[in-house]
Each structure stands twice: as structure tokens, then as C-alpha cells.
Chains A and B, each alone.
Chain A
Amino acid sequence: MEKTYYNRASAYRLAALRPKIDNISAEQGIQAAYNEILRTEVVLGLRKPTLAIYDHTGHIIGGGQKYGFTAAHALQDIFDVTLILNRKITHQDILEWYHLDLSTCKIKIIDIPFFRQFDSIHLDPGRVTRRTGNPFHIISKESGNYDFFINNSMNEKVYPLANVSSIIVHFPERRPKDFFYADHYTHVIYNSNYTAHWIEKKWKFSPHKHIYPPVDMAPDADEEKPAKENLILSVARFEEGGSKKQLEMVRTFIKLNRRFPRILNQWQLVLAGGSADENDYLKKIKEAIEKNDAKNIQLKINIPGDELKSLYKKSSLFWHLCGLDQTDPALVEHFGMTIVEAMQNRLVPIVFDGGGQREIVEHGTSGFRVSSSAQLLTFTLKLIREAKLREELSMHAFEKSKKFTREVFEKEVKDFFTAELEKYRSTDNGNS
């Protein structure tokens, strides 16, 4: 490879370089001229290609953020990677939150003063309008200092200036309005077909590349297959608005308890998830449990990762109803990482039939998809009664979960960006 570039370098007509750059600058602007120099350096093999990953939510722990950091992990050998964030976090934080060693990546913190006036941890691009001006242009400008630029949390208000740019969309939260630039990116990468459908509907163009999120909750390969207990598990945040539908789960389980007490007294429902201290929705759930004296329902709030892992290992069934009775597509599960986590631990998922959940669970093969609480009740009872079916579906669920591992994700990311890098290095590139 080196030799090829050396030959190209020899062939390079130095005398023509400056007039060419001046010409580009005059016609397409100074950024295009700078981009041409950056590409020339990579074509000639003068340095390692650079790539920046920007995430305006990178300081908050979450599945979308994990997507971007895992992409950085996959690409750090090929590119000189810089993580651009707006609030301070360290390599150690990333290691603790996601078990990802990104020590070869640089971290660059760029403060956006506009958001200091708001008492919020989240830098909400929705606050940015023509009247406020675009505070994200400081990031737009920074993007022009790299060969490749990835915008991880679908912040469509960042204008990409790098030679090759990608925006990762976990769901198109806002419609095209002031400072909408998502269609200026070289690639739009999406996490599920559900997201792709809504990109087409809301943003009126088709995204380019589908890469499912990385999920790594599987027990170690050398671990023994755990003994399963009569536990139904739900793992979801206790959202104030109740979008994760834990109250409906509690009601369904209480119905099951009443109708089939002899069967159900051997089973337990465990609802695990994060919550703020003050949470009215959580209060309602507690009230429903107390009122019905449902002793076989347990709440596990803000539990540590190890305890959650242990719950996954010993549970048999998994409930996830996010999207039930929902008219807003944004509040339907866009993918469903916890469902995959459950499947990696051989739980049989019974999930809402909508959103990204349709891409994970094949009805009757690797679990069941339901459209109502009544169906949840029916299929749960079926699985409780038929141990053989449970065993069979659990095996298929485990097999299906292999499609969404970190290894698969990293390979897809690597393959995609290696191919893009080859195109970038090629002298046949349209910009040359």
C-alpha cells in the first residue's frame, strides 16, 4: 500500500498544487480547498486519516451514546479518532459506563455557551431557532478539521464540513425546520428499519446504511448455563409519562394472579429500571401493587449493573410493552436493546407488536408479539403452562440475539468505513 502511495506521490505535480487549491478556494470556498489538502495528505500516505465523532449527549449514559462510543472503539485502529463532546467526561467514565477502552482516542470538549442559560443536563437542539441563531455552528466549523466526521446523536443542526460525513439517526425526533442539515451528510446511518421508515416520512429522503446497535449482555462463554427461575422480568426506565407501560404490566399480572392463583403463586414479576427520586408514575405503580396486595411483584429501582445481570441470568420470561396504546411514533421503541439483552440471556420475550421490536422478535419463533394487555396475558399463560415451548423459544431467542452483538456491530462499522476510506484514498475520487 505504502509503495502505491509513494508512486502516486512521485507522479504528483507539485507545481500544479497551489493553483489547483487556489482555484478550488475561489470556486467552492476556503473549506473545500482545505479539504482537498487533507485528502491529498491521506492519498500520499503522509499521515493516518482523522475521524471525529461528535455527540451532544455524550456526557449522559444511554444506548444511543453507546452506539457512537462503540463505533469509535471499532475505528480507533484505522483512524486517528477524536471524540468531540460538549460537557466533560473522561476515558475512565467511558470504560466504566460501557466497558470500552478508548485510550487511543482523543477527547475534545467544546463548550456551547448558549446552553448555559438553561438548567438542564441535556443540550436540546429543539431550542435552537432562527431567532436564537445556531450555536451548533461552532461544531460545524470544527467538523471541517477532519477527514471523516460522524455526528452520533442525530443533531441535524450541525452542518458537516468534512470530506466524508455521516449522521447516525436513532430516531428523527424533529421535522425539517430551522438549520436542518441532515441531508447534507454523505451517509445517513440508521439503527432499525422502523427508524428508516420515519426518516423517509418525516425528513422526506431515504437513509443509506443500516447498522443495528451493539448489545453485550450475554454471559461469558465459559459460564455455565444458568438455572432459570419462575421470574418474569421487565427492564425499562420508569418514565414520568409512563411510556414504558409498567403500570399496564402490573395490572396484567394482577389479573393473572386473580384468575389463575394456583399457577401464579409460583411466579414473580420483577420490574427493574432507573427512576428520578420524585416520580408520580412510579408512585401509581406502587399504589396499584399495594392496593391489590400483589406480593409477587417486585420493584428494583436504580439497581447496579451486576444485580441486573444476575436478574437476567435467572429470569425465564421478558415483558416489554413500550408503544402500547401509543399514537406518537417517537414514543414507540425505536429498536429495543433491553429485549436483545434478555434474549442473550435466554429469556423468552413477549413484546409489543410495533416499532423496532418487530425486527427483533419473530412471533411464535423467538418469542411473542402482542397488541394488547389481553394478548400479553394469553401468551404469558401459554408459556407458563408449556415448559417445552418455553425451552424451544428460549433457544431460538438466544440464536436470534447473536445478530445484535458488539462483535457484529464493530465488524459492520469497520467494513463500512474501511470501504469509504478506500474510496477516499482513491485518486479517482470525484474531488481529485
Chain B
Amino acid sequence: MDEKIVKEISRLKEDIFKQKEKIANIEELVKKEIDRDFSVDLWELSERELDNEMSARLSFLNDDIDIRPDSKAITSHRKILGKPIVFIKRIIMKIANAYTNTILEKQRRFNDQLVAFHLASFIRFRHNEQKIKAIEEKLKTFEEDQDLLLDRLENLNI
């Protein structure tokens, strides 16, 4: 093998590897978007999947009860101008909050009640499911006992 080729490939590999290692973001590495949104057809889900879906969505709702904006969310990537821009934006937000807070506070209370209601329904649903399972188990035990009794009756007849 031509030494020159081997060396050049090795050098190139090292160079590219170094560049690659600096990039943590996968989308940047492959120069395309890799994440997509998928819709869920709830009718297709099994009981277990529905159960997981309910828990996941409830937890999602719970995290978003308070929809009032957080001033810490305002940031800037600009090095010098960043600080004054953020400062001004936060002041504007504070002024706007005086007007929007009444509505948003009402919405927060509504969300809170709604999540509590869903959670209560979910817990009741779980309890009912456990009750049905217990009844099914009892039925099976009754069937067993019935079989046992029938066998004993047959033996008595002999």
C-alpha cells in the first residue's frame, strides 16, 4: 500500500474526527432535522398503553397548570446589548402582567380544578378496575369450590 495514501487518509480521519467530537448536537452532525411529531390514535391502544397514556398526559397537564409567563424565560444571546434588552423586555412584561394577571389567575384556578378532577376520575377508574379483578378472582375460586363439592357429591353417591 502506498504510504502516502495511508498517511493522508489517517491525517484526514484525525482531522474530521476532531471536528466531529466538538459537535454534541446530532442534528448538526447530520445537517438535518431528526425529530418528528407523531399523532397517537387512542383507539388503537391496548389497556396497558391507555393506562400509561393517561398517566403521562395527566402529568403533562399538572406541569402546566400555571400558564403565567416566567420572566426568567427572557434571555438574550447578544453579548453587549443582551443585558439592556432583557431588562427592557422584563419591564414590559411586568407592565403587561398587571393587565393579564386577572385573566391568567382565573385560568390557573380553572386548570387546577380540572387536573384535580381528572386525577380523581383516574383514581376512581383504578379502584374500579381493582374491584373487577377481585370479583373475577372470587368467581374463579367459587368455580373451584363448586368443582370440589361436585366431586365430593359424586364420591358420596358411589
Contact = CB atoms under 8 A, between A and B. Distances in A.
Interface in A1-34: 6, 9-10, 12, 14, 17-18, 21, 25, 27-34
A137 B26 contact: yes
A28 B5 contact: no
B28 interface: yes
A18 B20 CA distance: 16
A22 to B, nearest CB: 10
Contacts of B16: 21, 25, 30, 33-34, 37
B72 interface: no
A161 interface: yes
A10 B19 CA distance: 28
Nearest to A202: B44
B5 A44 contact: yes
A37 B2 contact: no
Contacts of B35: 178-179
Contact of A180 (B31, B38, B46, B47): B38
A40 interface: yes
A171 to B, nearest CB: 12
A95 interface: no
Contacts, number: 106
Interface string B1-19: 1101110110011001101
A274 B130 CA distance: 26
A330 B36 CA distance: 25
A90 to B, nearest CB: 28
B5 A14 contact: yes
Contacts of B38: 175-177, 180
B81 interface: no
A46 B6 CA distance: 8
A363 interface: no
Contact of A258 (B31, B34, B46, B151): B151
A46 B1 contact: yes
Interface string A174-196: 01111111001000000000000
B23 to A, nearest CB: 6
Contacts of A126: 52
Interface in B57-79: 63
A49 to B, nearest CB: 15
Contacts of B31: 27-29, 32
Interface in B82-122: none
Nearest to A175: B40
B49 interface: yes
B139 interface: no
B40 A31 contact: no
Given A330-B48, A331-B48, 10 more contacts: A9-B5, A29-B28, A29-B30, A30-B16, A33-B16, A46-B6, A144-B29, A159-B26, A292-B144, A328-B47
Q: Which 3 A-B pairs have the closest CB atoms?
A: A29-B31, A31-B29, A328-B46
20 contacts: A6-B1, A14-B4, A25-B16, A28-B31, A29-B31, A30-B23, A34-B17, A37-B12, A37-B16, A41-B13, A46-B9, A141-B26, A144-B20, A159-B26, A159-B34, A179-B35, A251-B144, A258-B151, A292-B148, A331-B48
Interface of B: 1-2, 4-6, 8-9, 12-13, 16-17, 19-20, 23-24, 26, 28-32, 34-36, 38, 40, 45-49, 52, 56, 63, 140, 144, 147-148, 151
